[in-house]
Amino acid sequence: MRVELAPVGYWRHELSHCLHTTAGVLLGFHGLDPVHVLGAGWGFDYRPGDVRSEEYYLPGAAEDLFGGLAPHHRIHSRWHTPADAEEGRRQVRAALMAGTPVAVAADNFHLPFRPAYRDVHTNHLMVLYGFDDTTGDVFVADPVPPAFQGTIPLAALTAARDSGNPVVHDRDMFFTANPIGNRWLEIDVDADQPVFDLPFVRGVVAANLVGFRAPDAAGATGGLAGLRRFLTDAFDRLPADPAVGDEVFVVVGPVLAVTGLHAEFLRDAGRRFGDTRLLELAREVDRVAHHWSALRIAVATAGPERASSVPGLLRRTAALLDAYDHVLDGLERWSRTA
């Protein structure tokens, strides 16, 4: 038997991770624009310590990754955790035979098209969209550079999905020591989705502002107040605990990606509706993304002399938060007059 689902195309945003690229490919299969869906939501919600060694990590959305990515759309996902590799193979095969591509977790160490092949272990995500029993191959789509779409041996995919994802050497960083477990994601896309029009964009902006402007409160983990607390507390702890740097690096990754996607969302809306204010606000959101990039690199390269890096990290944090305040004020003014 041979199954090759279509259309399965390429989609990637330059700041995105495997979570966003996988979601984008699957959304495209269902006829949706990935930027309009993945770029609508913009916020922050992270409970300190709730971080997972997964390249497809998203703060606050462990059980419903795609729902967390698309809070303004009727889209959800759920994890399947098979008992073993054979059950995992049967489950995804059944989904493919039913006409639905799926997302599978995999260890890059076992994937022949990944630069990490036979070198570095990591907890990755990609799309599986077919199989060929005659050749013993499966069809995978992975837009993450170097970008691959085509067939690989089923044996390679099985090894990647069943991997213990061990730490072998000092290059196995951030997304290891967390077994893959043959997990796969089932996506649920409602047929009734919002139309990308000006009222929808206004509603998205208003809802995002409510999340960002949530009042500061004891135990709060979301919004701009929660973001400020997370970063300042983390850098206070960094000199004594090097693991804090890894935590910040992992948490910041998807926040950076979502920020870049939201800039694209606003830019597309500005062009479509002839709104120059939205185009300028998109550039302001881009500036926030640039601040995130600089902060993430600074955290990753802090090195053993972490105490000496803290003043610089705090300066970058202040600049980041100022950029947030500036663009959120602009979005608030736009939402009142659009």
On the CB side of 288, CA atoms within 13 Å amount to: 28
Residue 237 φ then ψ, to 5° = -85, -15
Average of per-residue pLDDT across 191-204? 97
Q: Using pLDDT thresholds of 50, 70 and 90, give the confidence band for residue 221.
A: confident
Alpha carbons 109 and 96: distance in angstroms, whole number: 25
- Asked if residue 178 and residue 313 are part of one domain, the reply reads no
The answer to whether the beta carbons of residues 258 and 308 sit under 8 Å apart is: no
- Asked if residue 70 and residue 149 are part of one domain, the reply reads yes
Which pLDDT does position 109 carry in this prediction?
A: 95
How many CB atoms are closer than 10 A to CB 327? Answer: 25
- Asked if residue 244 and residue 151 are part of one domain, the reply reads no
- Asked if residue 42 and residue 169 are part of one domain, the reply reads yes
Q: Which one of 127, 154, 189 terminates a domain?
A: 189
The answer to whether the beta carbons of residues 289 and 322 sit under 8 Å apart is: no
Strand runs labelled E in the chain: 2-4, 75-80, 102-107, 123-132, 137-142, 148-153, 184-189
Which pLDDT does position 173 carry in this prediction?
A: 67
Q: Give the residue carrying structure tokens 């830019």.
A: 267
- Asked if residue 161 and residue 263 are part of one domain, the reply reads no
Which pLDDT does position 243 carry in this prediction?
A: 87
In the chain, how many domains are there?
2
Backbone φ/ψ region at 223: left (φ over 0), alpha (ψ -120 to 50), beta: left
- Asked if residue 50 and residue 86 are part of one domain, the reply reads yes
Lowest mean pLDDT among 20-29, 219-228, 276-285, 305-314: 219-228
Which pLDDT does position 219 carry in this prediction?
A: 66
Average of per-residue pLDDT across 275-289? 98
- Asked if residue 96 and residue 244 are part of one domain, the reply reads no
Token pair belonging to 66: 């795609």
How far from 331 is each of 44, 65, 144, 161, 227, CA to CA, in Å? 17, 27, 31, 43, 19
- Asked if residue 142 and residue 71 are part of one domain, the reply reads yes
Q: Which one of 146, 171, 189 terminates a domain?
A: 189
Domain of 9: which CATH number? 3.90.70.10
> What are the counts of helices (DSSP H) followed by strands (DSSP E) for the chain?
10, 7
- Asked if residue 14 and residue 118 are part of one domain, the reply reads yes
Contacting residues for 146 by C-beta, under 8 A, at least 6 apart: 113, 115
Note the maximum CA span of the chain: 61
- Asked if residue 152 and residue 61 are part of one domain, the reply reads yes
Average of per-residue pLDDT across 298-318? 90
Q: Is the pLDDT at 234 greater than 90, yes or no?
A: yes
* Residues 72-100 pLDDT 10s: 999 999 999 999 999 999 999 999 999 99
Token pair belonging to 235: 């850098």
The sign of the CA dihedral 50, 327, 257, 294 is negative
DSSP code for 222? B
Q: Using pLDDT thresholds of 50, 70 and 90, give the confidence band for residue 307.
A: confident
Q: Using pLDDT thresholds of 50, 70 and 90, give the confidence band for residue 171.
A: low
Q: Which domain holds residue 170?
A: 2-189
Higher pLDDT, 60 or 124: 124
How far from 132 is each of 1, 151, 154, CA to CA, in Å? 6, 9, 9
